[in-house]
């Protein structure tokens, strides 16, 4: 299915979206979309999909149990994002 449909279904059922063996948890916070491994552990926050990923039709919904980010992790990501935004391009 397309990414929008997968996200809607995952939200409805409390799951995550999956593609090519990687799991993604979209948020409205500074973690943005968080990438998880098959054990439900955070790999990286802030995933930014490329065009190919956005138009792909092979997204799936998974009920993988994930470790939701803590307030400490979210705070750290907020600070990192703000610092990165302040950096001037070379």
pTM above 0.75, yes or no: yes
Q: Which residues pair with 60 in a beta bridge?
A: 18
The highest-confidence range among 5-14, 24-33, 80-89, by mean pLDDT, is 5-14
* Structural domain boundaries enclosing 32: 3-86
- Taking CA atoms, 36 is separated from 46, 86, 87, 88, in Å, by 12, 28, 28, 30
Instruction: Name residue, tokens 């001037």.
Output: 88
d(CA 57, CA 90): 37
Buried b (16+ CB within 10 A) or exposed e, 65-88: ebeebeeebbeebeeeeeeeeeee
User: Which pLDDT tens digit goes with each residue over 36-88?
Assistant: 999 999 998 889 999 999 999 999 999 999 988 888 988 888 888 888 888 86
């Amino acid at each position: 299915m397309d990414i929008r449909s997968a996200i809607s279904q995952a939200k409805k059922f409390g799951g995550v979206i999956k593609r090519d063996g990687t799991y993604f948890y979209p948020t409205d916070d500074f973690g943005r979309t968080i990438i998880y491994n098959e054990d439900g552990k955070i790999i990286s926050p802030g995933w930014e999909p490329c065009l190919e990923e956005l138009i792909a039709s092979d997204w799936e919904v998974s009920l993988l149990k994930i470790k939701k980010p803590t307030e400490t992790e979210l705070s750290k990501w907020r600070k990192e994002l703000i610092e990165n935004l302040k950096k001037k391009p070379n």
